[in-house]
Amino acid sequence: MNEDVSLANSEYWNELCGSRAARKLGITAGDPQGVQTFDAWFFDFYPYIAGERFIPWGSLEGSRVLEIGLGYGTVSRRLGDASKHVVSLDIAPSAVKFVRDTAPKVSPVTSSALQLPFADGVFDYVITLGCLHHTGDMEAAIRECLRVLRPGGRMVLMVYNRYSYKRWIVSPLDTWKSWHRERGGDAIARKAPAPRRVSWFWDRSPSGSAPPHTEFATRRQLLQVFDDVEHTEISTINVDNLTDLLPQRLQSVRLDRLRIRLSNGWLSRRLGLDLYVTVVK
């Protein structure tokens, strides 16, 4: 099954993650300022990524860094400015090519996160935001990341929160069943992928299709996966930009300001969309 998901992912994510946002920003193919425009929007939209809360940008100099899941290359470009030893990996050839063209300071690699082409313990940092829940086996991908991380190294992970406010709205019965089963210790139920009609509300291509595979994680699940590491810290954050559900012609960057303000509120901290995990191996 994982091979089928990997093949589907390599095709699906050839449409760069971030393409819908780029269209909203008015970025067109060949736009010489397109990357700078997108990066400025991205770090404004996700201020907790721009700062040092999760990624210690100011401490990366000289570190060996692996990034998994490249999207529009924003994090790759900043990592390249922070360290001379950055490998940026994605399963989609077009994402790797885009980073090769726009982030000349990093070394891009095409590969699956389920079979990382690196020896054990070769990286000081592994950074993967919004990727591993699409791989077909999130827990196996996490274990691969830990394998290539050196003892004492740091991993920064973002995955979708199974118990976010949005899950309770979009799929309340399934979310309640997952919560009830997990309380009873049913690990298999919590690892089941979401139907694409549900995951569509989180990710969709410009043509409107949902990703081949999306898993949603829980704090308890992640703490079990990282049971053998030295330190694990999990934060809940992020709220939805509801304007993304509007037709393209009605979307506006100005409307993003409301979502940015809400991302610091109670809802984001308690029932936010994403789980950010910082791990010291």
Q: What is the pLDDT of residues 211-226, one digit of tens each?
A: 999 999 999 999 999 9
Mean pLDDT value of segment 178-204: 82
Q: Could you tell me which residue, 253 or 49, shows the higher pLDDT? A: 49
3-state helix, strand, coil split of the chain in percent (to 5) is 45, 20, 35
Q: What's the rounded Cα separation, in Å, for the pair 105 and 7?
A: 28
Asked if residue 271 has pLDDT above 70, the reply is: yes
CATH of 2-280 among 3.40.50.1820, 3.60.15.10, 3.40.50.1980, 3.40.50.150: 3.40.50.150
Say which DSSP state 244 is in. Answer: G
Give SS3 for 89: strand
Q: What's the rounded Cα separation, in Å, for the pair 255 and 263?
A: 14
Asked if residue 1 has pLDDT above 80, the reply is: no
**Rounded to two decimals, what is the model's pTM?**
0.92
Mean pLDDT value of segment 225-236: 96
CB 74 within 8 A of CB 67: no
100 Cβ contact list (under 8 Å, min separation 6):
108
Asked if residue 154 has pLDDT above 80, the reply is: yes
Asked if residue 242 has pLDDT above 70, the reply is: no
